[in-house]
Amino acid sequence: MKIKVWINDKAIATHIDGDTMLIDVLREKGYKSVKCGCDTTNCGLCTVWLEGRPVLSCAVPAARADGKHVTTLEGVAEEAEAFGRFMAAQGAEQCGYCSPGLIMNVLAMAREMKRPTETQIKEYLAGNLCRCTGYEGQYRAIRNYLAVTQGDYQLFGKGEVIEGVR
């Protein structure tokens, strides 16, 4: 069947099979930030936005994206890079394989929630798995990114010094 999808605001028409997944269309069209990290719909690496909402592109039938807007990391490159600097400042990544999915979900969270609490952050990101780290570096990077971009240094309070903000 034929579908038309806006990928990062660019209209793309393509032919798909009934069981083609969104991730396959995205990779075929060159959006290689989108990767598959598991067989079980669990890891979050394949996260993209469908009409602005984070979804697992490995499990969304491509047919469901017909007429819709999809955003990948390539479409939010500037923000992704800005957040990436916070990650680097914390030495958060080891292999870095999990980062594209995490970044897409962090940016989605930042749009959806203002000044999320620690619990809210951890809940929102629970579906992004990392095999190398213990999440602590990422968490510090996220805190600092939110503190700077959402303009509230009080949020994480308790007189903590925010490190690594560049």
What does the binding site for ligand FAD look like in residue numbers (CB under 6 A)?
40-42
Select the residue interacting with ligand FES from 1, 77, 126, 132 (CB under 6 A).
132
Stretch that binds another protein, among 17-25, 29-37, 71-79, 150-158 (CB under 8 A): 17-25
For ligand FES, give the closer residue by CB, 21 or 146. Answer: 21
- Collect all residues with Cβ–Cβ distance below 8 Å to 86 and sequence separation of at least 6: 141, 142, 144, 145, 148, 164, 165, 166
Report the site for another protein in 67-96 (rule: CB under 8 A).
none
* Residue 126 touches another protein, criterion: CB under 8 A: yes
For ligand FAD, give the closer residue by CB, 60 or 70. Answer: 60
* Residue 124 touches another protein, criterion: CB under 8 A: yes
By DSSP bridging, strand 53-56 and strand 10-15 are unpaired
* Half-sphere CA count of 72, side-chain side, radius 13 A: 21
CA 32/CA 134 separation, integer angstroms = 26
Stretch that binds another protein, among 42-50, 69-77, 134-142, 151-159 (CB under 8 A): 42-50
CA torsion 71-96-42-133 (nearest 10°) is -140
